[in-house]
Every structure is written in C-alpha cells, then in structure tokens.
Amino acid sequence: MLRHALVRRLWETGRWSEVCNYLRDLQPASASPADLELAALKAMSLAQLKRTAEAEQIVAHLEKAAENARLARAWAGIVRAMFLGQNFEPMALIDSIRGGLEVHRGSAYLRFFLGESYAALGETDLAIEAFREASAYAPTWFLPLLRVAPLLLENREPRLAADAAARAAALMPTVSVLAMATAIRAAADRDSFLADAEMARIVAEIQRANPGEENTLPLHVLILARSGQRKAAEEAVLSAVKATTRPSQSCLLKLAAASREAQLGLEQLCYDALEKNYGLGPETAYARAMELHGAGQTAESIAFFQDAWRRKGNPGDLNWRLAWATLLDQVKDERAAKEWVALGDDPAHKSNLTVQRRALAARAVQSDAAFIARTTERLRAITGEHSTTWKLARARALLKTGQEDADCTQAIELLRDVIKTVPNDLEPVVMLAVALERSGNVAGAIEQLNAAVRAHPEAWWVRVDLAKLYQAQMDYQKAGEMLEALPVDRLAPAYRAQVAKLLAAQGQISRAVAVMETISPPPTDSASLLVMAELHRARGRYDDAERIYAQLLKSPDAQIIASAAEFYAMAGRSGEAAKVLAMMDSLSIPAATRHYILAAHNARFGVLDEALRHYEAAAGLEPRGINIWTDWITHLTASGRIDDAIAVARRAAAANPKHKPFANFAGEAALLKALSDQRWLLPVAVSIVQIPVESDNAVEAVRLLGEAQANRQPVGAIIGRIRSLADKSPRLLSLQTVLVGAYRALGRMDDAAAVATRAMRAMPASAEAARLATRILADAGEWTQALAAAAHYRELTLANPLPADILIAEINIRLNNLAAAWKQIEPYIALSREKPAQYAGIVALQCRILIRNRQHEKAADILWPLLPQSPQWRQMWIDLTLGSLGDAAAAGAWLERITPLIPDNAVDEQIVLANAWYQWGVRADIPAYRERATAILDRLIARDDRSAAVHFARAVVDAQAGRREQAEAGYRRALELDKNLPLAQNNLAMLIAERGGNLDEAMELAARAIESRPEMATFHDTMAFVLRKRKDYKNAISSLLTAVRLEPTNLLWKINLATVYSEAGESTAALRVIEEIDAMAPDKSRLRPDLQKQIESLRSKLKGNLSAAG
C-alpha cells in the first residue's frame, strides 16, 4: 500500500525513472485493480523514457489478462493511444475506459484519461466533468486541475478556471506549471490581471527563471508597456524574435497582438519571423487578415488572405479552407455560409471532428436548419450516443426553429439527459431554462437559473437572464435584486446594454444611461445602439436619439423599424414614420411581423380600423403569436367592442390552448357583455389578457365588481373583498386603482395612500402608478412622500417631464418650499415668455409662488402684459384673486385693475368677474363686493335681456342670498332663452322640491339635467332629493349611490344617503354610512356647523330607532 502511494506520487510529478525503479519487480500478470494500475503506470513511464519495447511487453500482458479483463484492456488502450502513439478509435477508447471504471470506480487516473479522451473528441463538458472527478479522487495531483482550467475558460467560467489554475500551481510550483497557470489566470480576467502588482511580480520571476517562457512572455511585454517600461517591452519582443531557439507560431502571433495593443510597432517583425521560420501558413494569414479587418479594412483583409492562399497553399488544403471559412464568418461576408456548408457536407470530411464542430458553431449557418441537422447527425456518428455535443446542438436547433410543443418537449428531454451526465456544466442548465420557459413552465425555468446562479456565482450573465425572467413575470423586486448584484464593469458590453434595457424597464432611466456610459469605446452593434437611442428618447434628448436612428436605419431590422417609426410619430413627423415603415417592403421581414408592427403603429398613431385589419392578418399568419392576439383583444376592449374582443379571444384560445388568459377572457363573455357600458371596469377586464401572471385574479376582480354593479352596491360595500384580492395581486394596477378610489370614497386616505404606494413599488416602471401615488399622497396631506413619488414619476417621464415638474412645484408650494418650487419650474420660465400659451401652467405657478412670497406686483408684472391677448389670461388673473390672494383688499385691487380690460360685450367674462366679486363678498363679508357683483349682472340684463347665461348667473346670486322667488324666476327665464342649460334645470328642480312645489315638474327637470350631464354628482343628489319628497326611497338611494361613486370624497352625498336610509327605515344601512363619514372626517369641528348638527341628529335618531327595535 505504501509502495503504491509512493509510486503514484512519483508518477504524478513526472519522475519516470524512479517509478520504473520502484516497480522493477512488479509482475504484470497480477490482476488486482491496484496492480493493474501500477503496471499501467510503469508502462507509461517506460514510454516516456523511450523504452518502448518494455512498455509494449507490459501492454501485451494487460491485453491477455483474464481476470478484471475490462480494466486491463482499458489500461492497455490508454498506454497504446496516449503514450505509444498508436492509432486508436477515440470512441472505442472511451468505451474501454468507461468499462474499466465499472471495475475500478475509485481510479483518479482512469477518470483523468477519460477526460483526455473526451477533450480530444471536443466533448468539453464531459471532459470537464471527468477532470473534476479525477481531481476529487486525487486532490494532491496538479494535472487534472491544470487540464480542466482552460476548458472551464472555454466554457465561460473564468472564476472557476482561475481557481483551478491557482490550485494546480500551488500543488506543483515548478516554473512550467506556474507559467501555464499564470497564463490561464490572465485569460480569466485580463484587465484585473494586468493591473495586479503581485501578478506582475510572478510573471517577471518566471521570465527571469526561464527567459522567453512562451506562456507568460506576451503578458510580460504588456505589463512592461503598461508600467511605462516601453524600452524593456520592445527588448523583450526583439530578444524572443532573434533567439536561437525560435518561438512557436502561437507565441509569435501573441507577441504581434501584444505589440499592437501596446503600440510598440513590432507587429511586422513578428510576422516576418513567422513567415521565415514557418512559412506563411493559414494560421498566420488568418491572424494578419483579422488585424486588417480590426482596422476597418475588411476588403483588404479578404484580398490579403486570398493572395496568401494562392501563393502559399493549394485550393484543396483543409487548413486553408477552414481558415478561409472562419475569416468570412468573422467579417460577416455573405460567402461564409456557402463555404461552411461545402466543408461540412464534403464526403472527405464527414468524419472529421474538427470540421464538423467548427461548421456547427459557425455564425453564418445558424439559420440553415437543414445543415445544422445534418451536421448534428454527423457529430453524433463521430462522438457516439453518450456525447453531449450533438445533444446540445440538437436541443439548440429545436429551440431556435421549433414551433411545435413537441420540439420543446424533445429539447427538454435532451437537456435533462445532458445534465445527468454533466451536472456541473452551466450551458445545458441555461438552455433547459429557456426550453421550460417556452413550454410555459416559467417557475421551472426560474428554478433552473437560480440553481445555475448558486452553482456558478461568477457567471454574471446568468443573473442577467434570470432578471429578464423575473421582469417578464413582473416580479420587479427580485429582478432588481439580480441587477443590484451585478458588477457592471465586469460585464461584456452586450450584457451591459441588456442590463441598461432592464433598468429602463424598471423605470431607472438615469441608472440605465449610466450603465451604457461605462461601455468604452462606445458600442457599435445595432442592439446596443437601439438601447441607447431609446434611452435618449426617454430622457427627451431627441437630437441624440435621431442621430442614432439615422445610423441604425442604414441597415435596419424589424425592431429598429418599429422603434424608429414610433420615435418619428411621437414627434409629430408622421410622414417620416411612414417612410420608415415602408422600409419593411424591401427587407426579408416575415409577413406576420410586418403586419404586427403596422397594427401596433396604427393602433397608437393611426386609424384603429386599419390597426385591426393588420392584427387580423398577423394572427392568421402567426396563430401562436401570443402578443398579437393580446394586443388585438386589448384594443377591441378599450374601444368598447366587447363582442368582437370575445370572438377574437375564443380564436386565440383555440390556437393557443396552453395560454390560459385567452380562455379566461372568453369564459367571462356573458359578464363582460353585461358590463360593456361600465367603462371604468374595462381596464380590469383588459388585464385578464394583458397581465398573464395576474389573469386569474383579474377574472375574480371582474366577477366581484360586476356582482356589486348588478346589485347596485357601491364599491365601498365590498371593500374588504377587494382588499383581499388586491393584496394577492399587487401588479394588477387596474384593481389597485379601484381600491384606492374606494378608500378615498370612504375617507380612508391612509389606506388609499398605502395601496397607491404599494402599487408604485410593485410596478416601478409604470408612470400611471407613480402619478396615482403622487396624487393620492398629496390628497392625504403626505406631502413629503408625495414629493418622492412625484420625483419617481418624473424619472419615468423624462421625455416630457413638464407634467411631473408642475406636480413637484405644486407640492413644494404646499410644503412652503417656495425656493424649491421656483427651481423646479425655472427651466421653463424663458420658454413661458416665448410661448406663454403653451406653458400657461408655468405662468400660473410663477404667479402663485410670487404671491405666496408677498411679491404681488412681480406676479402682476408677469401676467399683466398677457391680459389683452385672450380671455384665458384674464381668467387666470381672476382665479389667482380667488385662490392665491389671501387678502380681501388685495383681491379687490386686482379685480378693480382688470375690470377695464374685460370688454363690455364679453358676457361670459363679465359673469366670471361678477362671480369673483360675489365670492369675495361672501368670504370676507363685504357687502360692497356683493353689490359690485349684482351691479355687473343687472347692467348686463339691462343691456340685453336675452342672455340665458346672465339670467342664470343672477339667479345663482339670488339663491345664495336667500331670494328664492327671484332665483326661481331667473332660472325659468334662463331656460326660456336656452332650454339646454342642465345647471339651471338642476337648480330649478331643487328650488321647486324645497318649497313643496310641483314634484312632477321637478322630476322632469332633474331627469333632463342628468341626461345632459350624467357625470355630475350634484344632479344625482338633486334627483334623490326630489324622489325623497315623493317617498320613493329605493330610487332615491340609487341616485345617491351614483353621486357617491362619482364624487367619493363629498361628505354631503353620504350625509344625504344616511338621511334617506333613515327615512326609509333602514337604520342599519344608515349607521354604516355614518361610520364611513366618521372615518372620512374624524374631526367634525372642521365641518360646517349645519353639517355637524345634521350628522349628530341622525346618529342620535338612528341609535334610538335601533334601541327601540332591540
């Protein structure tokens, strides 16, 4: 046992002579697994010492062994193939080693040579797994670690590669091993390596110990150049090129690349040495051609290679053909696909593993499904059934081109089989996640990617993919956690662009821009440029966006066309948008995609019927296009075409039976039809298809709200059920909005604010949610929180921040942060002077801020020059007197000042002026102001008795002053002049009912007012009052419930509702309304005294009724 351990250690460290010496008495005929292994180690050592005959003798004994024959033959095959250089069928050797492992499962060496065999076949995943197992069984042996490191690097696992290399060097700290490990660590994280002083010291020590050591020499040159030692860097290159022992081709090519990067100007010297020592072969010609391509000289690079091939090679030489096809592929030459197909299908190369693997990986052939399938089958024949390469290739093809469920199912089966074989490999796990997502098993896909993140924390790109999945499920919190964990500066530029896109979709526009700005040099690929263009749009930097779109439209695809057309249409440049869309006619864009883009564009910027026609065409061509059906149903529903939407949903469900939202929508046909006139419910209905992850909850919401509507219940009556449903579906914004409105109606502003804030956080990219939260928080008096919500709203609307800036300024005024309010609108002040009509809101805010600062004259100076221009400005002046001037004297002065500017024949403006005088007269109890109002109205009547508006205004003043007879006469005169005055109809109906007049007449007047303006809550209250006088309590309650729904925060409607419930004998219902009033206005002292008295009288009466009944 001790001898065995010693021999193994000697063999692992390459001490062949000592191995042979220790095993000189070994009997090769012994058949125990341990002795068979010792015999093989001796044979390998003899082969390394060139004692071939002795090695052959041991192999012959192994091949004749009767006991443990499979193990003995495995060792014999390894020695012959890997140490004696004899031909051996790769798959036969792999099968032989696998057979040996069934006998000797704990053999680290068998597993190592299995890894070597797989690596020779190009089966990287299987090789990695075998080397890992070998290292686990022989943890002090450096070689499995050194062999697995570059394979891990190839598999995009740089951290694991660097770790394996470092462990190998620690186990075997010789110069050669240390050099190889150092090169691998450099490749794993090149920029960090070159900036690491300790790594620089190690490289320098290796070069001192072994000048010109090829693994680290190019690194040494770069480190010297970066540290300012240019002369030493040049000398290192020159010494290598002129050395007696000529550098390898690979080393010279790397030195040329290092010289180019460090700008040493010695590239040609390296190429000359290459050609002198090795001739101008395909590898060198390819490297030089790629250098020209990198310098932007693609045509010259192709010409150079062709000339080199013509001069130095022959047309049929395989290496030249491979290099030529690779070059065409890299420079995206249209001939690349043809070259690769010719190589792959060439009968002479159908069993050539290198040709088939490289052909399969070529970019140019990825759309040629038939060639991919043929090449996959050839790989399968070469590498055998247990190979992972062909299985991954087939799964990839199925996922790329498959349209049927069977394709996904087959891909999943193949990938699960691969994962069983190589459980530590990353690629099949990620591919399985894709397949599971395609099959509708999103939870399974997320589970796979989470497992991949845990097993490969250094694979940052997997976190990006996982963030995409979470975001697609609207789980913005978890998506955000994934993005927060990313070291953006270590991501490849393409992934940084994806991260920026995800951040933008979360509403983090500024952060997304910051990520894109880390890409240096600036990106040139179309995907990244499109992200940048759309970010510029979102920030309102239209010139920058247009510049990028112009560049992208030189070589557009469907996505670029759709985005650019939207950009021009949003800018009001419909003609240019049409030209961009017309580009699709000359491109090979699938017809379904073309119709879908046209449908989406017309739905937003054109004619809806035209959009619907394109949706019909797109769905017919691509019946499995979920987005096509979803958008079609959405636009039909939003436009009130419920019957058509249901019919389309049925077709969509038939074409996509696994996509439940379509069946959900169609299944609610009867309810949706019944609610089709309730437009406030349509957003909830649309959510059934628009938000798949919330589809079932949206169905439940429609049923719940529909039930309340059918039973004529206010939403507040079922608020507990709504809250329960909203809590489990926080991403269902339409339902959150209903709940917020219900809480607002009940006066539960804290609850309304909490739900609105939660909705904003659950949907961080929704400007609608941010706006809702801002307004509700402001209504609740939570000004600081409202300000934060408004800032988020602004971040989401940087393309047009004006509405958000106005909101922020309004909130700051409320907070008395007048300087902050002014700063918010300051960027618009100059524009408001140039285009005051376009920026009227900014003009008003300037005046309000100045007035609050007691700078009345400055405010007047801003507005005064505008007053002669239009009634809009004169109205603003009067509004400011009513809403901002807190001093009656100042208000009177402002009203006096504007009076001469209002034309005598501008009846409507004169009425507004009269109303302002009257309102201040009532507010400040100044009779003279009230008299000014009546004088203006009387003068107007005296001038022209035929103005209905003037008679109506005079009647309002009379009614407020308690002159009921004059008011009634005024309303009747106004209606004689214009029978379509709903306010006059409403007010007259109320006066008639209050004095106990003709209730039929009052009923007719109230009904006509509601017919004209059904959205006016006060009209429904008037109708309820008339009905109450008629003792028709049921319909009176119905009218008041409508008033409450229209104006949920108006306490008067609820007080009236409680009163009618009480008179109708429904004391319990009345008390419930009183409780709602208590919640809305806990401090009754802030209410008008008459309302306080009415509430308390009602409460006392109702409690008495209930006590008597009890």
Please spell the DSSP secondary structure of 901-955, one letter per residue.
GS-TT-HHHHHHHHHHHHHHHHHTT-HHHHHHHHHHHHHHHHH-TT-HHHHHHHH
Q: For 693, phi and psi rounded to 5 degrees?
A: -70, -15
- In angstroms, rounded to a whole number, what is the distance separating the alpha carbons of residues 1029 and 1033? 9
Cα distances from 51 to residues 47, 566, 632, 1071, in angstroms, run 5, 77, 79, 107
Distances (CA, A) of 202 to 165, 216, 220: 14, 10, 10
Q: How far is CA 654 from the centre of its chain?
A: 29
Please say whether the beta carbons of 664 and 695 come within 8 A. Answer: yes
Distance between CA atoms of residues 867 and 33, nearest Å: 105
**pLDDT given at position 142:** 93
Tokens of 599: 């449908």
Which residue positions in the chain have pLDDT lower than 50?
none
Coil/strand/helix, residue 56: helix
Tell me the whole-structure pTM to 2 decimals: 0.70
**Phi-psi region at 74: left, alpha or beta (left = phi > 0; alpha = psi -120 to 50):** alpha
C-alpha distance across the termini of the chain, in Å: 98
Tokens of 307: 């000339």
Cβ atoms of residues 149 and 168 within 8 Å: yes
Rounded Cα gap, residues 516 and 538, in angstroms: 14
Closest CA to 972 of 958, 997, 955: 955
CA-derived radius of gyration, the chain: 41
* Per-residue confidence (pLDDT) for residue 1024, from 0 to 100: 94
| Dist CA 903 CA 881 (whole Å) | 19
**Per-residue tokens: 646:** 């249901």
Are 592 and 621 within 8 A, CB to CB?
yes
CA–CA separation, 966 vs 963, rounded Å? 6
Tokens linked to 867: 């007053």
Packing angle between helix 336-345 and helix 369-383, nearest 10 degrees? Answer: 40
pLDDT of 294 reads 83
The answer for residues whose C-beta is within 8 angstroms of residue 239's C-beta and 6 or more apart is 211, 212
All structural domains of the chain, each given as residue ranges with its CATH number in brackets, are 590-706 (1.25.40.10), 981-1044 (1.25.40.10), 1049-1110 (no CATH)
877: left (phi over 0), alpha (psi -120 to 50) or beta: alpha
DSSP 523: P
- Report the alpha-carbon distance of residue 668 to residue 642 in Å, rounded: 11
Burial class (CB in 10 A: 0-12, 13-18, 19+), 626: middle
